[in-house]
């Protein structure tokens, strides 16, 4: 029986694994984490709306339901193409007949000075927890020493006006105005002095959306208190300042970086040519050129969109790409079983991948969102928000997670209470304790 190794337990990798259920192949999914992360909701963990366990699901809980699926908790460090081996950090190696690389992406800081040292990325679950610690910790520090507010101690800068940046900014201003304002009422903290600033290099937010959606988004955020700085870039980040391309400086000790991603570091270890943003150029059927036994799906694949551009790094592209690759592998098995020499069988084993765009959504906050569903159908406000909630519940992994997220959303909606506003794992490097005043010492947690 042929061996298929799938690198990555994200949307694309799990779509491949699910698609090969029941096919006569042995499938091994490899990931450095033993859980699948539902990244579209990471910002809600960072802003205390959900707990980490609500957006993560054990990979073994998925593969154990299928007889031909296995999971290996390890990190892939390279591929030996000559011997058809996936090399692991533990020193072991996995043989493969077919390889699917779905390793995802990493934060792209575009070489901006100071981002790696002082910024908070929003791509992994630990990133969201660390940002939550920091946000709540900023208010605890300010309660102990209100003077830190004068130097940007309660100013939160979000960089990137795409869906992630918009969602972070909208959720953060709600957390401050509706939850923390109540928590710190009567204390020494003047919560009204807290600021949320959203910086976008393009001339407007959500540049990939229709102008009607963009105007609604910007108007709604501004109405809720978010300061929007569009048409300018971040040129430097220090422990206590953000410098913009227009010459402005924003005193702050919190910079959330949601300005883009690039291919995962594993791409450089594959030994194949890389394209823009560290992504792997692929053939129309998602195979790696020169390696017909290997595919790339999801954020790591530089796959053409048919109009001279590349498909975006979004969950739907990864899911559909993963299903496509699973179909091709199943067809190859079918052909081989038909007569043993690749003839016979049904279906084209080199069928090009065709992405079906199901639209785009972004939530701005409570009862406000924008949705573009194709064919000129655009929603905004409460209707779009309900559609956004429903879609994310459908794609969330695991019944328990769906139930907990639904209960949390309902509770938050009815009470304006976010029960996950906890500081967890604060240690020597954290600035979440009043006695370690990062605003006055110009310290921030290390990025890692």
- Give the whole-angstrom CA distance, residue 378 versus residue 88: 46
Of 145, 105, 123, 126, nearest in space to 52 by CA = 126
Of 195, 210, 205, nearest in space to 232 by CA = 205
List the catalytic residue out of 75, 140, 143, 167.
Answer: 167
177 DSSP assignment = I
Distances from the Cα of 44 to the Cα of 94, 363, 375, angstroms: 37, 11, 30
- Give the whole-angstrom CA distance, residue 67 versus residue 443: 51
Of 168, 228, 224, 241, nearest in space to 197 by CA = 228
Q: Let me know: does 24 contact 1? Beta carbons within 8 Å.
A: yes
167 is catalytic: yes
Q: Let me know: does 96 contact 4? Beta carbons within 8 Å.
A: yes
List the Cα angle 370/198/160 in 5-degree steps: 75
- Give the whole-angstrom CA distance, residue 323 versus residue 330: 11
Using DSSP's 3-state secondary structure scheme, residue 436 falls into: coil
- Give the whole-angstrom CA distance, residue 347 versus residue 337: 13
Annotated active-site positions, please? 167
């Amino acid at each position: 029986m042929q061996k298929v190794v799938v690198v990555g337990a994200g949307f694309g990798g799990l779509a491949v694994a699910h698609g090969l259920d029941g096919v006569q192949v042995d499938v091994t999914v490899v990931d450095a984490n033993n859980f699948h992360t539902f990244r579209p909701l990471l910002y809600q963990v960072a802003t205390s709306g959900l707990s980490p366990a609500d957006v993560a699901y054990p990979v073994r809980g998925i593969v154990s339901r299928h007889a031909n699926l296995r999971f290996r908790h390890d990190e892939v460090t390279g591929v030996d193409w000559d011997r058809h081996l996936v090399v692991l950090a533990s020193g072991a190696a996995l043989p493969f007949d077919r390889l699917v690389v779905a390793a995802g992406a990493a934060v792209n800081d575009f070489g901006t000075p100071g981002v790696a040292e002082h910024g908070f990325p929003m791509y992994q679950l630990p990133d969201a927890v660390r940002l939550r610690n920091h946000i709540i910790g900023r208010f605890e520090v300010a309660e102990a020493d209100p003077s830190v507010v004068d130097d940007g101690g309660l100013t939160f800068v979000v960089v990137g006006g795409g869906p992630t940046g918009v969602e972070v900014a909208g959720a953060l201003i709600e957390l401050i105005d509706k939850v923390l304002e109540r928590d710190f009422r009567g204390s020494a903290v003047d919560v009204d002095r807290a600021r949320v600033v959203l910086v976008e290099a393009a001339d407007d937010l959500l540049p990939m959306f229709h102008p009607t959606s963009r105007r609604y988004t910007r108007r709604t955020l501004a109405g809720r208190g978010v300061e929007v700085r569009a048409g300018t870039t971040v040129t430097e980040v220090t422990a206590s300042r953000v410098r913009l391309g227009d010459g402005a400086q924003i005193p702050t000790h919190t910079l959330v970086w949601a300005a883009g991603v690039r291919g995962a570091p594993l791409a450089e270890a594959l030994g194949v040519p890389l394209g823009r943003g560290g992504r792997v150029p692929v053939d129309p059927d998602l195979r790696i050129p020169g390696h017909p036994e290997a595919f790339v799906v999801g954020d790591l694949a530089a796959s053409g969109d048919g109009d001279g551009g590349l498909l975006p790094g979004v969950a739907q592209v990864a899911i559909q790409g993963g299903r496509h690759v699973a179909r091709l592998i199943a067809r190859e098995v079918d052909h081989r079983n038909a007569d043993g020499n690749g003839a016979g069988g049904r279906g084209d084993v080199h069928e090009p991948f065709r992405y079906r765009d199901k639209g785009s959504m972004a939530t701005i906050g409570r009862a406000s969102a924008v949705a573009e569903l194709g064919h000129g159908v655009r929603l905004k406000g409460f209707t779009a928000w309900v559609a956004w909630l429903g879609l994310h519940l459908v794609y969330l992994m695991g019944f328990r997670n769906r139930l907990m997220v639904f209960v949390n959303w309902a509770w938050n909606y009815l009470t304006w209470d976010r029960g996950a506003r906890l500081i967890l794992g604060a240690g020597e490097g954290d600035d979440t304790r009043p006695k370690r005043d990062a605003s006055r010492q110009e310290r921030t947690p290390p990025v890692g």
